[in-house]
Structure 1
Amino acid sequence: MGVQGSGKGTQSKLLADDLDLTHINVGEIFRWHVKQHTKIGAQVRRIVAAGELVGDDLVEDVVRERLQQHDWNYGFVVDGFPRNRRQAEFFLESYDIDGVIHLDLPDEEVRRRVLARRLCSRCGMDYNLIAHRPETEDRCDVCGGELVAREDDTPEALARRLRDYHDKTDPVLELFRGKEYVTSVDARGDKATIQRTIRERLGLPSYQP
């Protein structure tokens, strides 16, 4: 768990790849639907263009459908869910949780990172002009496509999402803290340092990049 731009996707993928876990990225699932022009994708496009968060029912349906695939024999890491108390209660009722990793990042750093994000308009590869710049400015290293800002990465939309995050997700962290699931990690370091800290806190095998 963590605010937008805190590195949830990066850290989840590092954990999943190294420990043979399944990485379930809710945002990635929605982006796939948008790219494939599905009915869900059309809903999501309208919602994010307005700078809002996808509703609880749609998020729960997508997560439930993904987990029902049962391709996670050794466990899974969920990134981007739950975002509010209702989703957290659904998750607590349905699955066993080993731990909740909270990537703690101040709002001012979130703004700096998020507004520097870029996405390849052709293949969907993610970039960040601070941490992961392309070799050629505004061009994807993989396919040469044009790099663009995401529709929802505007200062106004980000301000709305931050307010929404703190209003809805801070109480979820308190719910999980009450059950002693939460490990908070400072998300301002480099990705290797953050991953090592996560492993140490959870008693997992050490990280070797």
Structure 2
Amino acid sequence: MHKYVIMGVQGCGKGTQAALLVNALDLVHIGVGDIFRWHIKNHTKLGAQVKRIVASGNLVGDEIVERIVHGRLEEHDWNFGFILDGFPRSESQARFFLESYDIDAVIHIQVPDEVVRERVLSRRLCSDCGLDYNLISHRPAVEDVCDVCSGALITRPDDHPDALAGRLNDYHTKNKPVLSLFQRKELVLDIDGTLAPKALHKEIISQLGATNYHSSTPVQ
């Protein structure tokens, strides 16, 4: 059984690599953001609470996040292990997690801020079907037009330089103590996130020393 945490700043390729590891190692992907979105979509009490917090411009508190993660892991549907994405985001969350679960490694995808800016500011979103594009790696056949539904491509509302600068600063400030805690436990694997996706996936597998690797998903 493998139990991993994956960390990295927005735009580092974390979501892509988590999905590849799920396939390669029979893991369950546990994304905190996905759980929140499910609750909001299904109009649960928790969803309403999270929606109010986010709408007010605040971050969801540690107590709620810890309860969500603990509840999800208690479902025990991860027979071969899990990869946890979006948690922990604070030192107190990290301490809570380490007190409750043994983990094998923290996969830390490192990307310089200037590369993150280039990647994030190149993102586009179809206004109709929601398909993601990136003007660096996934350009539409026709400029500003979705390949699938011909909808107009737009920039995400928070994908502008000032907002991104704030997110980067917030990430570094809050994740530094989390990484320091995991590093003291000798759990952190630093991975070069500037590698192409295929090379990055292979590097992660190599550093994990995974022995039951059987990925059949092509990596671009």
TM over 0.5: yes
Provide the rounded CA distance (Å) in 1 between the counterparts of 2:82 and 2:63. 22
Partner SS, residue 8 of structure 2: coil
With CA pairs under 8 Å and 6+ residues apart, which has the higher RCO, 1 or 2? 2
Structure 1 residue 188, shift from structure 2 partner: 0.4
Indicate the larger mover: 193-202 or 148-157: 148-157
Which of 29, 36, 42 does residue 30 from structure 1 map onto? 36
Q: Which moved more, 1:190-199 or 1:29-38?
A: 29-38
Take 1:67 and 1:120, find their aligned partners in 2: how far apart are those partners? 34
Give the conservation status (yes or no) of the 8 Å contact 2:129–2:151.
Answer: yes
1:39 matched to 2:45? no
Deviation at 1:122, TM superposition (A): 4.3
Q: TM-score, normalised by structure 2?
A: 0.81
The answer to whether the aligner puts 1:117 opposite 2:123 as a matched pair is yes
Matching residue's letter, 2:138: H
What number of residue pairs does the alignment pair up? 206
The one-letter code sitting in structure 2 at the alignment partner of 1:160 is: G
Query: Which residue number in structure 1 is paired with residue 71 of structure 2?
Result: 65
Does residue 15 of structure 1 match 2:21?
yes
Find out whether 1:98 has 2:107 as its counterpart.
no
Q: Is the 8 A contact 2:23 2:215 kept in 1?
A: no
Q: Distance in 1 between matches of 2:35 and 2:150?
A: 24
Task: Tell me if the contact between 2:117 and 2:164 (Cα under 8 Å) persists in the aligned partners.
Answer: yes
Counterpart Cα distance in 2 of 1:10 and 1:40: 29
1:33: how far off? 4.7
Counterparts of 1:40 and 1:133 in 2: how far apart (Å)?
Answer: 37
Matched with 1:128 is: 134
State the one-letter code of the partner of 1:43. Answer: R
Bigger Rg, which one: 2
Structure 1 residue 64: deviation in Å? 2.8
Q: Deviations over 1:43-66 (max 9, x none)?
A: 36525xx5x654433433332333
Q: CA RMSD in A?
A: 2.5
Show the counterpart of 1:183.
189
From 158, 183, 190, the equivalent of 2:164 is 158
Shift of 1:88: 0.7
Structure 2 residues not aligned, in runs of 5+: 1-6
CA distance in 2, matches of 1:102, 1:62: 23
User: What 5-or-longer segments of structure 1 have no aligned partner?
Assistant: none
Q: Secondary structure at the match of 2:92?
A: helix
Aligned to 1:203: 209
Amino acid at match of 2:106: V
| Worse-matched range after superposition: 23-32 or 161-170 | 23-32
